[in-house]
Structure 1
Amino acid sequence: MEESTCYHCGDHCGEKPLRFQNKSFCCNGCKTVFEIFNENDLTCYYDLQDSPGAVPKEIEGKYDFLSQDKIIDKLTEFRSDSIEIATLYIPHIHCSSCIWILENLNKLNHNISDSVVNFGKKTVRVTYNNENSSLKEVVLLLSAIGYEPYISLDDFKSGEKHINRSLIYKLGVAGFGFGNIMFLSFPEYFEVNEFWLEQYKHMFRWIMFVLSIPVVFYSAQDYFSSAFKGLKARILNIDVPIALGISVLFLRSSIEIAFDIGSGFFDSLAGLVFFLLLGKFFQQKTYDFLSFERDYKSYFPIAITKVNKKGKEVSIQVYDIKKGDRLLIRNEELIPVDGILISGRGKIDYSFVTGESQTVTKSSGDKLFAGGKQTNGIIELEALKSVEQSYLTQLWSNDVFNKEKEDGFTSITDTISKHFTLTILSIAFIATTYWLLTDVSKAMNVFTAVLIIACPCAIALSAPFTFGNLLRIFGKLKFYVKNASVIERLAQINTIVFDKTGTLTANKASQAIYEGEALNAREALILKNTLRGSNHPLSRTLYDILEANDIVTLDTFTEHVGKGIEAKHDNIALKIGSASFVGSETTPNNLNTTVHISSNDLYKGKYTFYNRYRKGVAKLFNQLKAHFDLVVLSGDNEGERDNLKKLLPGKTKLIFNQKPEDKLDYIKYHQSEGANVMMVGDGLNDAGALAQSEVGIAISDDINVFSPACDAILDASKLKFLYQYLRASKGAIKIIKWSFALSFIYNIVGLYFAVTGQLAPVVAAILMPLSSISIVVFTTVCTNILGRRLK
């Protein structure tokens, strides 16, 4: 670092630089940032990149408006007594050092508990303690370290992402340099040995050299930066051979004109950079045009119960929620949108949002935030705005809840491309050595052409485009997959475990008959209202069967997973669930599923359920039996064994009386034996099993199923197509392998012409992006064909 430049931001320090620890700083802002890093042992920030900070602007008083509650409400996505969460748009985010420092904000301010960067959107989501800090302090800290957020005062929103035109500028500079260098090269191309060439050829060559400097050091800087960071991290990324090829061309050409050996390869160099950037530009446009990456959010399948003006409860999709709608939230249901609590006792678990499982008590009139989960019976709220699908999906994908299923899982791209760059570098050096010994004039062209023609961009694009497009197709067919890696894991499944109740059985089609002492009017009222607050499939079935009753607010409501529900109103305490849970001394009936009821610890009777299975279950199991080990794990008794034996293939394992922990242990055991397990359940009692399995699929009826444990959500009406979805996942792997094969064929053919000296670097630069675009088109067309077959 030069003494005249700022150690933090790289700007000139002027005549009187500030000094600290033998380092120069241009202003107190940069000096303060360095002091903060130094005090918190974060000076390795400067190892990532020279002068990584931007010069802080004058910000005194600029953000005083962030002290106003009205504005804070607009800018924050979550507020409680102790925690606030805000997502801020940071235009300065541009590299790995930016991500590193922004995700270490908690070391600069201990009131910040978490900060997560979305590099594509250039946003940082900050969680902080609002008792000891504030949004204003967070914004001032970001500004002080050179990452000033963009906040629009017009609509109180974090600014929308600005169009990044840097690629266009670099492409323009490269195009200008390429065109002029080609023009200046014409006399030597046509070997015009007349007076004006002999007199001016040296001047032309030096002009070409000057024109190439901005092409190499500005237009191509991203390749050098990426290659340098990769090498620093001891990784041979795809930009290493490109940067090496550009460097060799530039150095060789500079040496040739400096020693009057020849005119060099400045035309090829400028053309190479121009066509590389042009290819990147078209890839970016193609990617944006297909726009599949997050389209599946539009179909996110959370249903919610709306109470209409007549007081009738109807189930609607969350994206149909409008401001002012009255919504019913049952026990364990997610609050999909910000709202005001109207009735009921709120005990909200905001762990989806904050990562902290401590519940917050709310009463009528309090504001509730999207992402909270009600854990104390039923509540009603009034929606303050429409739902944001992207926000719900962000909660679903929150890293706080993502089980480390990726551990030990190697993607197909990593497996194939692991040694790609090393192999290409070896071929380039061997071929160059051969030509140095036989024909020196071809050596540099061969070296550069090999490095460029074999760029593994096509390999890198195959999997993201294939899986991304399939995500979109699955979403339209009501199979909602969390991310691309889930599809890859789906293709490796060899064992499928099904829950029975609510998964294989159709809740609405089931019947129930009551046996025992009749409930009085008060008990019937409390029973109906207790069932109204539960999402368990048997509760929903029984609720639909029972006669309508008035709505009352229960004094207490507790749901015991895998056992039952207890509730109290006035002086009546009901228990609903298994015989042992309600305290029944009767002999359990093992012939059918039963739900027992007691009132004030006195046994009343039981409802016996006669299950009806979903349409297409028998056909689905017959399709699956040839390819997978099939298991049904049920928490019910063995009364349905005979019916299931008639319905399902003979090899299907049927295991009953399974508690949630039993299901989890069963899956763990089979995984230890080498099985890749997919669990299909209702997302309520099966959360542990869904999380433990390689792929957990939650079945969604008309209730608000939202579990961080599941990897996919399947609309109940589409369960019969599960085999087709699994086949499509395997088909996606085949498409990727075919695209890899096409890429390798292209590389082999290209390498042959490059190694034999028949391919100019500039032609290689044109062919490289064309190969990438062709792979994108191939994978997109093939996955669309897969999608048509599914339909």
Structure 2
Amino acid sequence: MVKNSEYKSCYHCGNICDTVEIDYDNKVFCCHGCKTVYEIFSESNLTAYYDIEKSPGARPKVNEGKFDFLKDQQILDKLLEFNNDSIQIATLYIPHIHCSSCIWILENLHKLNPKITSSQVNFNKKTVRITYQSQTCTLKEIVILLSNIGYEPYISLDDYSDSKKQINRSIIYKLGIAGFAFGNVMFLSFPEYFEVNEYWLDHYKPLFRWLMFAFSLPVVFYAAQDYFISAFKGLRAKILNIDVPITIGILVLFIRSTIEITFDIGQGFFDSLTGLVFFLLLGKFFQQKTYSFLSFERDYKSYFPIAVTKIVSETEEIPIQIYDIKKGDRLLIRNEELIPVDGILIKGHASIDYSFVTGESEAIDKISGDKIFAGGKQTSGSIEMEALKAVKQSYLTQLWSHDIFNKNKEEAFVNLTNNISKHFTISILTIALVATTFWLFYDANKAMNVFTAVLIIACPCALALAAPFTFGNMLRIFGKHKLYLKNASVIEQLAAINTIIFDKTGTITSNKKSTATYHGEPLTDGEERLLKNTLRGSNHPLSRTLYDILKANDIVTLDAFEEHIGHGVQATLHDMNIKVGSAGFVGKFESEKSLQTSVHISSNNTYKGKYTFYNSYRTGLSKLFNQLKKHYDLAILSGDNEGELNNLKKILPTKTKLLFNQKPEDKLEYIKYHQTEGAKVLMLGDGLNDSGALAQSEVGIALSENINIFSPACDGIMDATVFHKLEQFLIASKKAIQIIKWSFLLSLIYNLIGLYFAVTGQLAPVVAAILMPLSSISIVVFTTVATNWISRKLV
């Protein structure tokens, strides 16, 4: 039923039903679009959307024809970040995202359309990343669905270039309005400041006061709305967040000022009110710009120590860092390596695991000429591909830091900040009420000023800023020094480490300097060629070392390749089969256990011989272990035999635990056992055979030496050239925690001094509003300078 109405608001979007009112299901809607959205939610059992926030939706205005351009394949190629035969992924910018209800409905799109596999919202960037089944659904259908429920995406091809980022300009508009109002209110306040009387007093004083009131309205109800929304949501969730005292202060100033000019008992505090909001927003703007800068540094400029092999010619291959990849480069992707960039498959049998991207672990087979996408992992030997674009490093970071791969590690200092803020707010409200009560009896004229000044000056914003800015800058600094960490919580975990466990081969030994000699029956030319090409597809440190040692041979495409983690690799070419690995793997029975690190070879099930390796340990290993032994329990877990036991005992400190013949599962169980005894473990490994141990430890770091290591199991990637700096990184992590504690103390001193002047009535609210962001800025400056200072020792 449709009828006229003037006062009722729409159940979906909250707009006043000024022209029509549609009654449906005992609810009122302003248009058929809002009613349709409600029906969609109701049929899909998603009406809890309206329980999270009142009238959270937007009035849908859909013209389906405007999205016809999404049928163009060239445009789709630019918008889609992943596209194969069955799954497509697109990240869309949704300007209307504004509250928890928006997040809830956008992350439940699969209930509205079962062809949508998943949808994830980034609230800060106002984007939603949607994965859907491309065989039965199109991007146009997704966009129309979003538009129908009031979340029409803003689509511009410029927004999807690597050099541009979505910017929320809301705070700039609010800051501009607050600044404009503040300037005008100050100007209108001058006559009363200077006590101008006579003609002005009778004719213009009421006008000026009501003009100040008018200027304050957009400041309170628009510029300051984020503080009100945050405080309301916190109270509704029974949490006293840091915006509660600010909101109370703004309301007290506005209500008190309005009462004074209404009853002509004073000029009010509109200058303090508008100045307060302006300086609060100025501090918030500075905070966002600074944090955005740190995020930009992490996403785009941090050193990401992952190498990939570039094929220069038929006989020359060189390792290059992934950010040096250019369009047209020909790349070699070995078994278990990540595809760092979109490209075309040129040669080889591709069986690609896209679970990093899609969450689906089933491998997808590709043939020469097919397009393959960044984020997939090759699982069936080596392939060659041609890069279609440069690496988008932020995309790889996003995959690595994906929530589904994160371990449930307690973020102690984040919780500490929240707890301090909660108790801080309760304390400040109590102090404000007690001080105001005192001044009401002692000097009522100062009571409101004292109440407002206490609420504003004692804001714990500086407390909330200490941890994110300290950790953000440390992530950036570590990245520049070739240690790339997944997130801020890894720094906290590093600071708590008391046990360090190392893998041996490829971790404390250097692949580049190792040598090997062959013992056994000579290999034929065909066997040598097959051996070389088999090793070419493996990423195991011994395979890489032997591959570099062997003379160049023709590069061929293998008929079959299979890697058995912890045992060896085997491959087939025409009628020839080769196995490379442990003695047991190739079928060799050893009457006496060799104490040398060896790789055995069999051809067509006939044992041929073995390569014996002579390890070269990393420069500075002995010095590093002697330094670490003072503060940490050290252990080496190796899958090799005890051949290097005596050498290690000579160069490593006494009581270093040395365990050999350890399978991947043995390493995992070793870490588990010691964790039950209170050990906080840092594991350093190659990221391939040690993935289980890296995931089990508090912090797992993969060492990269021209290897494309990229695994959700590791919390950090360290370039092999900075291995000797491990202790310095651990010291820097501990000092970062100390910086946060010092920041807490500095913030407490600020607040105590400010409270003294506020409680004694010596601090005006507008001055408090200026000092509050200054204290926050000083904390940011302190943490930035302090973290840069401690980073000098990392050189």
TM-score (norm 1): 0.96
Q: Is the 8 A contact 1:342 1:382 kept in 2?
A: yes
Report deviation, 1:567: 1.6
Are residues 1:213 and 2:232 paired?
A: no
Calculate the aligned-residue CA RMSD, in Å. 2.2
Match of 2:543 among 505, 520, 539: 539
Give the secondary structure class of the aligned counterpart of 1:283: helix
Paired position in structure 2 for 1:168: 172
Tell me the equivalent position of 1:460: 464
Secondary structure in structure 2 of the residue aligned to 1:474 = helix
Following superposition of structure 1 onto structure 2, how do residues 237-252 of structure 1 map, counting pairs within 5 Å? 237-252=241-256
Whether the 8 Å CA contact 2:456–2:769 is kept in 1: the answer is yes
Which aligned pairs between 1:498-513 and structure 2 lie closer than 5 A? 498-513=502-517
Q: Deviations over 1:590-621 (max 9, x none)?
A: 42112122223232222221111010111110
Alpha-carbon distance between aligned partners in 1 of 2:496 and 2:158, rounded to the nearest angstrom: 51
1:520-559 correspondence to structure 2 within 5 Å: 520-559=524-563
The number of residues matched between the two structures is: 791
- Of 213, 229, 233 in structure 1, the residue corresponding to residue 233 of structure 2 is 229
Q: Is 1:354 aligned with 2:366? A: no
CA distance in 2, matches of 1:732, 1:103: 35
For 1:261 and 1:513, the matched residues in 2 are separated by 99
Tell me the equivalent position of 1:515: 519
Cα distance in 2 between the residues matched to 1:202 and 1:4: 35
Bigger mean CA deviation after superposition, 769-778 or 317-326? 317-326
Deviation at 1:119, TM superposition (A): 2.7
Pairing of 1:340-739 with structure 2 (within 5 A): 340-406=344-410, 411-414=415-418, 416-739=420-743
AA paired with 2:169? R
1:335 to 336, 339, 360: 339
SS at match of 2:389: coil
Q: Name the aligned partner's letter for residue 696 of structure 2.
A: Q
Shift of 1:291: 5.9
1:4-153 equivalences under 5 Å are 4-152=8-156
* In 2: Cα distance, 1:120 partner to 1:296 partner: 18
Q: Is the alpha carbon distance of 1:62 and 1:169 closer, same or farther for their aligned partners in structure 2, counting shifts above 3 Å?
A: same
Q: Determine which of 181, 185, 194 is the counterpart of 1:181.
A: 185
Partner amino acid for 2:81?
Answer: E
The separation in 2 between residues aligned to 1:506 and 1:111, in whole angstroms, is 49
Unpaired runs of at least 5, structure 1: none
Cross-structure match for 1:253: 257
Partner Cα separation in structure 2 for residue 648 and residue 369 of structure 1: 44
Distance between the aligned counterparts of 1:584 and 1:363, measured in 2? 36
**Residue correspondence of structure 1 range 246-325 to structure 2 within 5 A:** 246-288=250-292, 294-295=298-299, 298-325=302-329
After TM superposition, give the deviation of residue 763 of structure 1 in Å: 0.6
Deviation at 1:573, TM superposition (A): 2.0
Which region of structure 1 is more displaced relative to structure 2, 697-706 or 315-324?
315-324
Q: Identity percentage over the alignment? A: 72
How far the C-alpha of 1:200 sits from its partner, in A, is: 5.1
* Structure-2 separation of matches of 1:2 and 1:223: 30
Distance, in Å, in 1 between the alignment partners of 2:566 and 2:92 is 42
Instruction: After TM superposition, give the deviation of residue 153 of structure 1 in Å.
Output: 5.6
Give CA deviations for 1:484-518 in whole Å, capped at 9, x if unaligned. 11111111111111000100001121121222222
Report the AA paired with residue 397 of structure 1.
Answer: S
| Contact map agreement 2:354 2:376 (CA 8 A) in 1 | yes
Query: What SS does structure 1 have at the residue aligned with 2:66?
Result: coil
Mapped to 1, the partners of 2:262 and 2:352 lie a distance apart of: 74
Instruction: Report the TM-score when normalising by structure 2.
Output: 0.95
Q: In structure 1, give the amino acid aligned to 2:549.
A: I
More displaced stretch, 627-636 vs 10-19: 10-19
Of 354-363 and 2-11, the range deviating more from structure 2: 2-11
| SS of aligned partner of 1:589 | coil
Contact 1:89–1:158 (8 Å) recurs in 2:
no
**In 2, distance between residues paired with 1:413 and 1:583?**
59
- What are the Cα deviations for residues 642-664 of structure 1, in whole angstroms up to 9, with x where unaligned? 11111111021111111111111
Please tell me the residue identity of whatever aligns with 1:140.
I
- Offset of 1:680 from its aligned partner? 0.4
In the aligned structure 2, how far is the partner of 1:439 from the partner of 1:108?
62
Following superposition, the deviation at residue 422 of structure 1 comes to 2.0
Greater alpha carbon shift after TM alignment, 31-40 vs 433-442? 433-442
Which stretch shifts more, 469-478 or 679-688? 469-478
**How far is the alpha carbon of 1:246 from its aligned partner?**
0.7
**1:126-151, Cα deviation, whole Å (9 max, x unpaired):** 10111221111111111112221222
Distance 1:714 1:143 in 2: 45
Deviation of 1:302 (Å): 1.8
Ranges in structure 2 where 5+ consecutive residues have no aligned partner: none
Contact 1:482 1:712 in 2 (8 A): yes
Question: Per the alignment, in what secondary structure is the counterpart of residue 84 of structure 1?
Answer: strand
Residue identity in the other structure for 1:488? E
Q: Retained in 2: the 8 A contact 1:224–1:239?
A: yes
Question: What letter corresponds to residue 602 of structure 2 in structure 1?
Answer: S
Contact 1:150 1:159 in 2 (8 A): no
Query: How much does 1:187 deviate?
Result: 3.9
- The letter for the 1-side match of 2:66 is K
Bigger mean CA deviation after superposition, 195-204 or 749-758: 195-204
Structure 1 letter corresponding to 2:588: S
1:787 to 769, 787, 791: 791
